[in-house]
Structure 1
Amino acid sequence: MLKKSIYVMLMGLILMSLLAACGSKDKESSASGEEKGGDFVFASSGLYPPFNYSDNNKLVGFDVEIGTAIAKELGMNPKPVTNPWQTIIAALQAEKFDAIIGSMAITDERLKEVNFTDPYYESGAQVFVSEDNDSIKSVDDLKGKTIGVVVSSTFEENAKEYTDDVKTYDSDVTALQDLMVKGRLDAVITDQLVGMYAIKENNLKIKKVGEPIYLDQMGIAISKEDKKLLEDVNKALNTLKENGKYGEISEKYFGEDISK
């Protein structure tokens, strides 16, 4: 009877050891899978068509498709999210997402807080006015006028060079629509591609004034601590340009390759 009890105990210990070993193996396998895959979470304001915006409750646009293509090159699952523009850098630093892919202009001030990839496109700061506005024919005519811009954008700082009367918005489209409301705004400064897209898609009765005031280079913002991710995203971006995927996405939204 005693021998039988010892035998049962030994068999139980062996079985427990085998189960523990299997559990450990499964855990290691799962961890290894996480390292190879996982989510690539990237953020934008979601209020910047055609670059990032909501369509039928789904986040879409040029930035979203570029971010998705980068994730696939990295062997990761793309997960686009939105964050208010005025707090988006702070949220990146708080590790709420891996990168900002939201048409963010590379500036010296921002470079103090985050790292940027190589520029993935370039565009200009453009002045827009209502179709019936004949008083603003150049940037010199902006002096003392009421100018609308997106809050915490490079356009906001630029507008302050011409006037103290700057109105801020969460969305460029809302600002451009206000140009058609008498007495609300005299002009809007925004990205040239964004303004031209809004005219086409929303049938806005507005027009651009002259050539762009300046050109911005847009980069993908990544935390200063994550140097490996910066290197990997740059490689993925270059691959997309070389294999034609970037051009394909760009043609879809703009009818041309805006990286050139």
Structure 2
Amino acid sequence: MKKSIKFIGLLALMLALAVSAVGCGGSDKEPAKDAAAKPKLIAAADATFAPFEFTDTSTGKYIGFDVELIQAICDEIGYEMEFRSMGFDGLIAALQANQIDAVVSAMTITEKRKAEVDFSDPYYKSGLIVAVQAKNNEIKGFDDLKGKKIAVQSGTTGALQAEKITDKNKITYFTSSDQALMELKNGAVDAVVNDYPVSAYFIQQGNKEVKLVGEILSAEEYGIAVPKGKTETVEKLNAGLKAIKENGKYAEIYKKWFGEEPK
């Protein structure tokens, strides 16, 4: 009987020491886990707008100027970045519903959009251009588009400009710029009104059946959109954008995707 009592007592002591050791180990590791945690920024774009954002067919990953830009900004300000793709015409609604934190999708800063969302400082200067079939010598610019069949991407400034030029029943709306340009390439429409760098990139990828005509219409500026009133987010994005412009990272990304120095 004495032997049993001693044995039970020894087991109890060993169990107590083991519990104590486990408790100490947990308290040592927990602060390190908390210290490593980063705030997350959920950024979204319509990933059909090369070279700004599109899918690498060989890897299935999202790539492009905007994708690398927002990643560089997040790295600079210490944020983890999650990138999502959704239709362009649903991006502002997703911001307003707080489904995402930011839109970086070659979005032109306009007065109408500024009433719905807040924008970062501009990060890219662009403009609209007319694309036609290479064999078309009739259309030489915006002035020749009245009455013509025009393809556009829904919700864009290109679509708004086309609506000023011709009747809506002459306009075909697509969910992506690639679809609009392919419609032109196949001869189903007379022209596409779209952002200059996107149409130029489409041609550079071997689509020689398409050409650009006329002057670039107005200088447009792209900004990163955030939900209305998210002042702190705007300030952090602006700080990150300023930093990568100063340290050369912005110029590096710009030259990679556009083959020239930032304008």
Shorter-chain TM range is 0.7 to 0.9
Q: 1:33 to 1:95 in 2, by over 3 A?
A: farther
Aligned to 2:185: 180
Residues 91-139 of structure 1, C-alpha deviations (whole Å, 9 max, x = no match) = 1122222211111000111101111011001011000100111121121
Contact 1:198 1:204 in 2 (8 A): no
**1:158 — aligned with what?**
161
- What does 1:107-146 correspond to in 2, within 5 Å? 107-146=110-149
Q: Which residue of 1 aligns with 2:66?
A: 63
Cα offset, 1:173, TM superposition: 1.7
2:121 counterpart SS class: coil
Instruction: State whether structure 2 residue 92 is matched by structure 1 residue 83.
Output: no
Residue 167 of structure 1 is aligned with which of 140, 159, 172? 172
2:200 to 196, 206, 212: 196
Matches within 5 A, 1:205-244: 205-244=209-248
User: Would you say the 8 A contact 1:149–1:188 is kept in 2?
Assistant: yes
Deviation at 1:78, TM superposition (A): 2.2
Q: How big is the shift at 1:33?
A: 4.5
Q: Is contact 1:106–1:216 with CA below 8 Å preserved after alignment?
A: yes
Displacement after TM superposition at 1:171 (Å): 1.5
Q: Which residue number corresponds to residue 5 of structure 2?
A: none
Aligned twin of 1:3: none
Q: Is the 8 A contact 1:177 1:204 kept in 2?
A: no
Amino acid at match of 1:158: Q
* Structure 1 residues not aligned, in runs of 5+: 1-7
Cα 1:21–1:90 shift into 2, 3 Å:
farther
Q: Distance in 1 between matches of 2:211 and 2:183?
A: 13
Aligned-pair distance for 1:84?
1.1
Letter in 1 for 2:103: I
Task: Report how far residue 21 of structure 1 moved.
Answer: 9.8
Query: Given residue 185 of structure 1, which amino acid in structure 2 is its aligned partner?
Result: V
Q: In structure 1, what is the equivalent of residue 6 of structure 2?
A: none
Give the CA deviation at 1:41: 1.7
Q: Distance in 1 between matches of 2:114 and 2:154?
A: 19
Computed over aligned residues only, the root mean square deviation of the Cα atoms, in angstroms, reads 2.4
5+ long unaligned stretches in structure 2: 1-11
CA distance in 2, matches of 1:243, 1:60: 22
Q: Distance in 2 between matches of 1:31 and 1:253?
A: 37
Residue 148 of structure 1 is matched in structure 2 by 151
Give CA-to-partner distance per residue, 1:18-46, whole Å, 9 cap, x none: 99999789777655544xx1322211100
1:33-83 per-position Cα deviation (integer Å, ceiling 9, x unaligned)? 44xx13222111000001000003100000000011011001122221111
Matched residue pairs, number?
Answer: 250
Specify the structure having the higher radius of gyration (Cα).
Answer: 2
% identical equivalent positions? 37
Paired with 1:233 and 1:104, the residues of 2 have a C-alpha distance of: 15
